[in-house]
Structure 1
Amino acid sequence: MAATPTLRQLEYLVTVVDTGSFTRAAEQLHVTQPALSHQIRALESTLGGALLERLPRAVRLTPTGRAVLPHARAALAEAERLTVAAGRAAGLEEGELEVAVVYSVSLGILPPVLRAWRHRHPGVRIRLREYAHADRLQDAMAAGRADVGIGPAPAGWEGPIRELGVEEFTIVVAADDPLAHRPSADRPAADDPPAEAPAASVALADLAERAWVHYAPDNGLADLLDQVCARAGFRPRAAVRAEQTSAAPLLAAAGLGPALVPADIVPAHFDGVLLRPDPPVRRVLTAYTRTRPDPLTVAFADLLAQQARVNPPRPR
């Protein structure tokens, strides 16, 4: 591979031209004149020709030097812009953060976090990547497709992992379902504040004979539903399989069967009824990175953790 000029060599060339003297350039750059001359010769060797003509009282650009000088100035200016951009990003003034999440996060805790982030850091753009399965999210993070992953704790992850909070799950049934008439069954109302009292509970084992609103195999919640039902002693039978996580509570409210959904994704305007699974179904959400997170990533994770504490999922 051919050698390329270094930024230091380009800076030395520009300084010699601007000062008109190797002596003055060396003083300005705080280097010895022999060291300066050595770097200029190395640059000329790299570019294949003389750049400067040494006159008794001045220096003069050669034709090659005149061709090279604008590019040298442009390279130094671009390097300066890069430094400024990095400094602004470190100061949370501007930049771009690539965030990868599982669907339940993008539907649940993420929207208010993004709203708060926009108010606090309007110059920092967020690029969002969504994944239906936590394994796909982990693969994307390992491949370097995002700066931070938000989802269940990744298995065998060697980079930093930060716990954000607990994701609660609820059972959704239709308003005319027999389970909906239990005392304390929680039916969200658009104009009412969230109920503080726990909703009615339902033992998962009592739903063993029901046909469920299940999830498509490539949706990570399919695995979760199978696992919690297996612990309750049965395998859930699917009435329908939803590819999109957001469709599950709507299909359950339409009477197709019970659905296990993250409590945070249930819409405010909703005709279904929410029940608390017994035993409770929860999973820990984390933020994880490949290497030590930079200031932008740390600030975003801080905001996520604050949101999880301020607005924890209410009991179902």
Structure 2
Amino acid sequence: MTTLRQFEYLVTVVDTGSFTRAAERLYVTQPALSHQIRALEAALGGPLLERLPRTVRPTPLGRAVLPHARAALAETERLHAAARRASGLEDGELEIGTVYSISLGILPPVLRAWRREHPGVRIRLREYPHGDRLRGAMAAGAADLAVGPVPDGWDGPIRELGVEEFVLVLPADDPLAASPYRTVPLAELADRAWVHYAPDNGLAEVLDQACAAAGFHPVAAIRAEQTSAAPLLAAAGLGPALVPATIVPPHSDGVLLRPDPPVRRTLAAYTRTRPDRLTTAFTDLLATHARTDQRA
């Protein structure tokens, strides 16, 4: 039978690269640590660690076990945090996972309002470039609540928050900036070089799919590693950018136009299990801001 303590020992040995350093961090003797690792290996049917001259590395079996060990430890910590929250303690912690564009646009006013109402609750924010990365991290136990695009095939509770509108950003002197209806058919930008996104950024897929629906593939003039850079680069004249309306700075030098057809994606908050009262309260506040903070 495996125990959480054995998982903690395994993870600490891997993270420190040494039985000696792991024993010091865990405040146990090295023989006791080695004994627990051997017991875990016996329970799982094979060696988990390979001792090298200067370090320790996981075996193939160890690498397969590690994500589950980390997830079990993280889930245990969240269990204790949930118990503290349910008992009314003010020193709880809420872990939120999200994608870059949401942490830039929608979350800041929500977190500001939350801090006013719950000043004693700590927020830990984990950011991911892609919705699939967020979904995988959430499944592995990385957060209490995930906020992002609706996840495919998610088994836990999902609460849709609203629709995220996308806008086109063009420099003020662009010929299309004077569009009388403040809209631009995407097909009119087929011959442009775009401010695109890094391949692992989920907004790259949004742009590619929107342009494909308009009958072309966007050529990249530049690829932005940071989501926040896209509207700035577009305003500077490097090419049009398709961005969530909520991430455009209030005093942007660029011109915002609606793409035709509109580009939207549905956002959701989701959890692995039924959310506790504190997580539900945060989701309620988030849903209110997601409905009202749309600038398109």
Structure 1 length as normaliser, TM-score?
Answer: 0.67
What is the alpha-carbon root mean square deviation over aligned residues?
A: 2.1
Residues 1:287 and 1:84: Cα distance change in structure 2 (over 3 Å): closer
1:314 aligned to 2:289? no
- 1:312 Cα deviation from its structure 2 partner: 3.6
What whole-Å deviation, never above 9, does each CA across 1:12-37 have from its counterpart, x for those lacking one?
xxxxxxxxxxxxxxxxxxxxxxxxxx
Partner of 1:256: 238
Matched with 2:205 is 223
Distance change (3 Å), C-alpha of 1:211 and 1:111 = same
Which amino acid is 1:278 matched to? D
Provide closer, same or farther for how the CA distance between residues 88 and 101 of structure 1 changes in structure 2, counting only shifts above 3 A.
closer
Alpha-carbon separation, structure 1, partners of 2:130 and 2:236? 25
Q: Equivalent of 2:262, from 280, 296, 307?
A: 280
Deviations 1:45-80 (A, max 9, x none): xxxxxxxxxxxxxxxxxxxxxxxxxxxxxxxxxxxx
What letter corresponds to residue 149 of structure 1 in structure 2? Answer: A
Q: Distance in 2 between matches of 1:278 and 1:287?
A: 28
Letter in 2 for 1:221: L
Structure 2 letter corresponding to 1:160? P
In 1, Cα distance between equivalents of 2:82 and 2:279: 16
1:93 deviation in Å? 3.4
Deviation at 1:182, TM superposition (A): 2.2
Aligned to 1:182: 179
- Alpha-carbon separation, structure 2, partners of 1:104 and 1:150: 11
* Structure 1 residue 148, shift from structure 2 partner: 0.6
Q: Distance between the aligned counterparts of 1:154 and 1:140, measured in 2?
A: 12
CA contact (8 A) 2:168 2:240 kept: yes
Question: In the alignment, which of 141, 144, 152 is matched to residue 141 of structure 2?
Answer: 144
Once residues 178 and 217 of structure 1 are traced to their aligned partners in structure 2, the CA distance between those partners, rounded to angstroms, is 29
Say which of 257, 262, 265 aligns to 2:247: 265
Number of matched pairs? 221
In the alignment, the residues of structure 1 paired with residue 293 and residue 113 of structure 2 have an alpha-carbon distance, to the nearest angstrom, of 16
The 5 Å alignment of 1:121-270 reads 121-183=118-180, 200-270=182-252
2:81 touches 2:93 (CA, 8 Å); kept in 1?
no
- The 4+ residue runs of structure 1 with deviation greater than 6 A are 82-85
User: 1:301 deviation in Å?
Assistant: 0.4
Distance (whole Å) between structure 2 residues aligned to residue 120 and residue 209 of structure 1: 50
Matched ranges for 1:44-63 at <5 A: none
Structure showing greater radius of gyration is: 1
Extract unaligned runs of 5+ from structure 2. 2-78
Partner of 1:292: 274
Q: Secondary structure at the match of 2:250?
A: coil
Contact 1:212–1:240, Cα closer than 8 Å, also in 2: yes
The letter for the 2-side match of 1:230 is A
- In 2 relative to 1, CA 175–147 (structure 1 residues): closer, same or farther, beyond 3 Å? same
In structure 2, the residue matched to 1:114 is: 111
Unaligned runs of at least 5 residues, structure 1: 2-81, 185-199
Q: Check the 8 A contact 2:81/2:92 in 1, yes or no.
A: no
Which SS does the other structure have where 2:215 is aligned? coil
Q: For 1:308, give the aligned amino acid.
A: A
Change (3 A) 1:216 1:164: same
> What TM-score, normalized by structure 2, do the two folds share?
0.71
